[in-house]
Amino acid sequence: MEKLEILYEDEFFVIVQKPVGILMHRTKMSEDKISLMQLLRDQLGYRVYTVHRLDRATSGIVLFGKKQSSANELSALFRKQSIDKKYLAILRGWVPDKGVIDYNLSDQETGRIVPQQAVTHYLCLGRSVIDAAIGLRYPTARFSLVSVVPLTGRRHQIRKHFAHLRHPVIGDKRHGDVKQNKYFSEEFGLNRMFLHALELSFNHPFFEKELKIHCPPDEHFIKGIEVSGLKEHYLI
């Protein structure tokens, strides 16, 4: 596997681009032989510490601490909502120009049965309609390209919130549209989920300066933008 792209590095932190399809770290439930943490450790030659997580199916910016104390400092910023995160997503259908999704979420898999507050802001960057009879109901298909800012960090929050609005993320195998996913896979060979961690910004807790990290989506995401008719709206 190719080396991970390092987006930023100093003596406290390292920020990398996570490829789609890789777990953050190995678990007892997973049969994966590699993980992002292991790949980065092998590349750098020393241990790194988790600050936050991305789903296996999500690509983009991930931050690690070089020491446990450094990771703890940044984890505290995440808990205080002092780190700004921006995602890019392709959705089924047309969403409004902008919106706030305030919808509490539970998580049966982790045992959090009582719903917790979850808030997501989004801005529609553009909409498209293409001549594709995905399913048998309509002769065309509609899509939206959105910029997403989650204010809370619940598991699968963005995916669940847009599924709740009936505008699921394209390629989401758990919360998405099976027919849409099949269309992108069979027609274009695109088997990924179209959710990407695009930007991360925060005040460096040790250097007292603002860091703003930008990570463009990979070629497969760009192809998804193109085949869904959204290319003219991708100006990031």
Whether 55 is catalytic is yes
Q: Give the number of other CB atoms < 10 A from CB of residue 131.
A: 8
Instruction: Detail the DSSP E strand segments found in the chain.
Output: 6-9, 13-18, 49-50, 59-65, 84-92, 98-102, 105-107, 112-116, 119-130, 141-150, 195-203, 210-214
- What percent of the residues of the chain are helix, what percent strand, and what percent coil, each to the nearest 5? 25, 35, 45
Strands 112-116 and 105-107: antiparallel
Which of 111, 113, 112, 87 shows the shortest CA–CA distance to 101? 87
Strands 141-150 and 84-92: antiparallel
What is the C-alpha separation between 149 and 152, in angstroms, rounded?
9
Q: Which of 10, 32, 42, 55 is catalytic?
A: 55
Give the residue numbers annotated as catalytic, written as ranges: 55
